[in-house]
Amino acid sequence: MYFKGYRRVDGTIGIRNKILVISVDECMEGIARSIAGSITDSIVLTNYNTCMMGGNEETVNNLINIGCNPNVSGVLVLAMGCGSIDPKIIADPIMKMGKTAYTLTSIKENGTRSTIAKGIKFAKILEQEKDNVEKVSAHISELIVGVKCGGSDTSSGLASNPSVGAAVDSLINMGGTAIAGELMELVGCEEVLVDRAISKEVGDKILRLVSEEERRWAVGGITEIMSVGNSVGGLTTIEEKAQGSLLKTGTTPIINILEFNQNGHEKPDSPGLYLSDTTMLCGGSATHFAAVGAQLILWTSGGAGFNNQLIPVIRVSGNENLISEDIDIDATGVMNGADTVDNVAKRIVDKVVAVADGECTQIEDVGYAYCTLYQKDTRLEYVLNSCSQV
Amino acid sequence: MKKTMIKHSEDNVAIALTGIQKGDKVIVMSKSNEAVLELTAKTNIPYGNKIAINKINGNDHIYKDHYKIGTAIQTIEAGELVHVHNVKSNRINFPESIIAEIISQMDYSIE
């Protein structure tokens, strides 16, 4: 199965062609939006944490890796200039991958208006470059697919997650790569995960990262660990949610679990199925998937219409009470016996190829989630003595 | 007859495939769509929620698809809703305020 995409200098293939406008501090957000509004297919990414480098190392790694995502053609990095995050530490590694990346520091540009004017000049050059990229044929095995659930309910574990799991098995059998995350939602599945790991080292790493995530979210021993909506939909405990969540990863061996922290972001180095530190929080999960190089996301739900600008989202639902026009794949037939998981999985794979080839998803370019830049709190990591601190 | 599904033969809960009212006759189907049990609902069971298919004592594990998904905090009679008000997680629990919010959003009155 083949699709037409955008070949990048580093050899990867994009299925969309976007310009990133990165604001390394919250004070540049308005300037970033003014510049981004002057060109087509632009995305603003803003670091809303502190404007200091200390504590933001993971976000900086995240931004560099998102800039390297194959769906991104070029990058403009903006800083006010009074903070300590130098825009060049983000732009330089992206340029090393063969992409054009400009930097602009407002306090060196004689004010907000002139910064915007200069930023628009850079953005127009990036836009021209983007529009000159010609689409070429690529094999489905070049796709890296993020797998995520959101707005889960009982139908997720019975219909959408098993269907996505069967589609993931097919994609991997064709040589592709899939990446799941949400380690908090794998609590209770450790035995199964360790059995599926390709080596004892990978199994041990899975146990370590799931345990670290559990400790992070259970400070105080008690917490709102899954959404009220999950439980209203019939899920009683985190273990119950996790058993359903696991099904979307299919049945193939787990090659590795990719760790993200202030020291760097691990990426897949061979095809197959991976787990990762990708957050369970939807907005931030999309930026995490972008940072590991995923070109699209398979997203299972009761009925929520999660959408993201960086990488297209294919939504799958099996809940006949909540399904709407936002959902790309209707899996409700699995719930009432009118359809099978294998049939739905075939439709998912066909949709993956069509969307990779340029077909819009149901709500592409309609309403997007915020591109949250989620990172672990380094102070909490220190208190919990997580491995990434050592 | 209201349909529910049991995912594994040794489970003690079935999933409501439709909304069930207290007093409704309930049929429990296996994954391969064979009828395995009939019982009467002792509480309302909203769509997607779990019904006890036999008596579950306090401290017993709740089994769904052969996995332990939590522990009963009180006796649950066959036909009753099995959810956040009578089950706790073996790993991480919700605060009481969240349990109250879940129950209020479900429009489910706990007797």
A323/B contact by beta carbon, under 8 A: no
Give me the pLDDT at residue A307, please: 94
Give me the pLDDT at residue A389, please: 56
CA dihedral A19, A26, A267, A193 (to 10 degrees): -130
Residue A75, both tokens: 């990058």
Q: For chain B, what are the domain ranges?
A: 2-105
Which of chain A's residues have a Cβ under 8 Å away from the Cβ of B101? 228
Residues 97-156 of A with CB under 8 A from B: 153-155
The CA distance from A320 to A340, in Å, is 15
The CA distance from B100 to B94, in Å, is 10
Chain-centre distance for alpha carbon A120: 28
Over the stretch B46-93, which tens digit does the pLDDT of each residue have?
Answer: 988 999 999 999 999 999 998 899 999 999 999 999 999 999 999 888
Question: B2-105, what's its fold?
Answer: 2.30.130
CA distances from A25 to A19, A47, A65, A375 (A): 18, 5, 18, 15
Residue A207, both tokens: 């146990």
Give me the pLDDT at residue A390, please: 46
pLDDT confidence bin for B108, thresholds 50/70/90: low
A122: closest CA among A104, A147, A143? A104
pLDDT < 70 stretches in chain A: 221-222, 387-390
DSSP state for residue A33 in the 8-state scheme? H
Q: How many Å lie between the alpha carbon of B93 and the closest alpha carbon of chain A?
A: 5
Least CB-CB distance to B87: which of A223, A228, A236?
A236
DSSP A213-282: HHHHHTTTSB---S-HHHHHTT--SHHHHHHHHHGGG-SS-EEEEE-EETTEE----SSEEEEE---SSH
The CA distance from A380 to A236, in Å, is 28
Query: For the CA atoms of chain A, what is the radius of gyration?
Result: 21
Over the stretch A202-246, which tens digit does the pLDDT of each residue have?
Answer: 999 999 999 999 888 888 766 777 888 889 889 999 899 898 899
Q: What is the CATH number of domain A18-132?
A: 3.40.50
Mark yes or no for CB contact A243/B48 under 8 Å. no
Q: Which residues contact A146 (CB under 8 A, 6 or more apart)?
A: A178, A179, A180, A181, A278, A285, A286, A289, A292, A294, A296, A297, A298, A311
Over the stretch A127-165, which tens digit does the pLDDT of each residue have?
Answer: 999 999 999 999 999 999 999 998 888 888 889 999 999
Residue A384, both tokens: 């919990």
Give me the pLDDT at residue A388, please: 62
Mark yes or no for CB contact A243/B91 under 8 Å. no
Is the complex ipTM more than 0.90? yes
Which of chain A's residues have a Cβ under 8 Å away from the Cβ of B49? 154, 234
Residues 25-44 of A with CB under 8 A from B: none
